Amino acid sequence: MSFSPLRGRLFWATLSHAIFSQYGEIMAACLNLMNVPIKEFFRESLRKNYGVESDETFGTIFSACASFMFIGLAISFAIMGKLMDGFGRKETILLRSFLGIIGSVCMLTSLLLNRFELYVIGHLIAGMLQGLRVVLIIWIAECSPDSKRGLTSLFINSGGVIMTLLVTPLCLPAVWGTDHLWFLLPCITALLATVHLIVTVFLPQSPKHLFIQQNDEEKARQALRFYYGNDEQKQVEEAIREMIHENKQAGKGKSSVLDILQHRTHRFSLFLVFMCSLVPVFSGLNIKSQYLVELLISYGLSQSNSTIAIMVISAVSLPVSFIAPLIIEKYGRRPIFVLLTWLCAFEWIGMAIPEMANNFGWLFETRWLFACLAAVLGQSAVNLGMLVMAPIMISELCPHNIRATVSQATQVPPIAIAVLEVFMFPTLRAHFGFSMFLFLATCCAALATILHTQMLETAGLAVDEIVARLGGEPTLTRSNTSVGWMHYGSLWEKEPEPPSARKSTYYLKEQLVI
C-alpha cells in the first residue's frame, strides 16, 4: 500500500484535533507528573479539613482518589452510545471540550480553597475526557477516506504523545512542580479546551452520521466536499455509494447487544474490538499514569530525577509517534497491533526486574534503569496506537448502526478492571511483588497471540466491503481488472467494461451511475 499525505481541510481539521484535543491527556497525567506536590496538597487538605494524620489512612484515601479517573472513564463509556447516536459525533466533542474547561477549573480552585475534593472531581472529569476521546477518533475516521482512517486516527494519537512530552518539563520542581505552582498545568488544559471548543464549532458533522443516522444526503455531500475537497467529486460519489450499501447492511439487524451477539458477523466484530480494548487494561499504562514517579522513586531516583526520567522516556520513544501513521498505512493494522501488544508484555517483564531486586534486597544502584527501559517499550506501544486500537476497529469492522452499542459494550468492562487495578495496585504490589508483574506480562502475551490468529487485515477497505468479507459474502474489489461487478439483490453479475477502463467499479441498482 502506498502512502500519500493528507490534503486540504482534512489535514487542517486533523491537525487541530491533534493539537487542541489533548487537554484530557494532560489532565489525566497531572496526578502522575505532579505526584509529589499534589500528594502534599492532599495530605494537608485531609489533615486540615478532616483531621487525617495516619499515613496508612492517607495512602488508602489517595489510592481511592487516583482511581476516580477510571470511574470517569466508566461513566463516559456508559453514556457514549446515547451521545454518539442521539446527540451526534460533533456535538459530543463539543460537550467534551466544555467538560475539559469545567474539569480544569475544578483543579485550579482546589488549591485556592484547600479542598482536595475539587481536584478529585477534576480527575474524574479527566477520565470522562479520556473515554469520550473514542468518539473523536470515530468521528475523524468517518470523515476520512477509507485509505486514510488509520492515518488520521494515529495522527491524533501522536499529537497526544507530543503534547504530553512538551508539558512534562514544566513539571520539574525547578519550574512548576512545587506545592504552590502545580495548578498552572490545569491553566494550560483550560486554554486548550477553550480553543478546541471554538475550532470544533466550525467543523461539519460526520458525513456517515448525516447520511445514515439523519437521512440527510445533501448535508452529507457538503461534509464530504469539505473534508475531501471540492475537486474530488468522484471520491465523494464513491463514498455516497459505499454509505448506501453500508446502510442497507446496517438495516439487516438491530443495534442492541443481544442482537449483535446473535448475528455471526457482528459477534465476531464485537469479539475483536473487545480484545483490542483489553490491551490498554493489561498493559502498564494505567499503573504508570498514577504511580510511575512513585515506582521510580522506590527504585532509587529522586522526585526531580524521576520527572527527568519520564521526559527521557517520552523523548526516546517520540520518533515512533512520527512513523506510526506511516507504517500502519504501509504494513496494515494486524502486524502493528500484534507488535505493540508484545511490547506491553516485554514492558512488564522489564518492570519485574527492579521489583524483584526490591523484593529480594538486591538494591543495586542501576535497578531504576531497567524500569526506564521497560517504560520506553510501553510508551512505544502507546505511540504505535495502543489507545486507538479499539476505535479504529470500531470504525472499520462495525456498520454505522452498531458502532455506538459496540463502543459502550466493549469499553465499560475493561474500565471496571482498570478501576480495581489502580485502586488495588499498592496492596497487590506489597503482597505479590514482581509475580504480579509477570502475571500481567502473561495476559498481554495471550492477547497478542489471540490478535495474531484472529485479526483480519482491514486497512483501506470500505466498511461495507469488510462486513461483506466477514459475512462470507462476495466482496467488492478495486483491483485493476477489466471486469466490474453489479449488485442485484443477492446476485452478483459481471458487467463488462470498455477496454480503456482499468479500475473496477461497483454500482448499486438504486444508485444512478455517474
Q: From residue 26, give the alpha-carbon distance in Å to each of 235, 237, 263.
A: 37, 40, 40
The vertex-175 CA angle with 173 and 181, nearest 5°, equals 85
| Residue 213: all three cell numbers together | 443516522
302 contact partners, CB below 8 Å, separation of at least 6: none
Question: Of 275, 276, 256, which Cα lies nearest the Cα of 266?
Answer: 256
Classify domain 8-203+251-468 at the CATH topology level.
Growth Hormone; Chain: A; (1.20.1250)
Look at residue 463 in the predicted model and tell me its pLDDT.
61
Q: What is the pLDDT along the chain (514 residues), one digit of tens a residue?
A: 334 456 668 888 999 999 999 999 899 888 878 888 998 999 999 999 998 888 888 888 888 888 788 888 888 888 887 888 788 889 999 999 999 999 999 999 998 899 999 999 999 999 999 889 888 988 988 888 877 777 787 788 788 878 888 888 888 888 888 888 898 999 999 999 999 999 999 999 888 888 888 888 888 888 888 888 877 777 888 888 878 877 665 554 446 788 888 888 888 888 989 999 999 989 998 888 778 888 999 898 987 888 889 889 988 988 887 787 777 767 777 788 899 999 999 999 999 999 998 888 887 788 899 999 999 999 999 888 888 888 888 877 887 778 878 887 887 788 778 778 877 888 889 899 899 999 999 999 999 999 988 876 665 566 656 666 665 554 444 433 333 333 333 333 333 444 433 333 333 333 333 2
**Residue 21, Cα to own-chain centre: how many angstroms?**
12
**Residue 491 backbone phi and psi in degrees, to 5:** -105, 145
Sheet containing 491-496, strands listed edge to edge, beginning at the edge strand earlier in sequence: 491-496, 483-488, 506-508
Q: How far apart are CA 199 and CA 221, in angstroms?
A: 21
> Which residue type occupies 453?
T
Residues of the chain with CATH 1.20.1250.20: 8-203+251-468
Q: How far apart are CA 411 and CA 225, in angstroms?
A: 33
Look at residue 412 in the predicted model and tell me its pLDDT.
77
Place of cell 460533533: 90
Q: How far apart are CA 58 and CA 295, in angstroms?
A: 18
How far from each other are the two terminal CA atoms of the chain, in whole angstroms? 27
**Residue 184 backbone phi and psi in degrees, to 5:** -70, -25
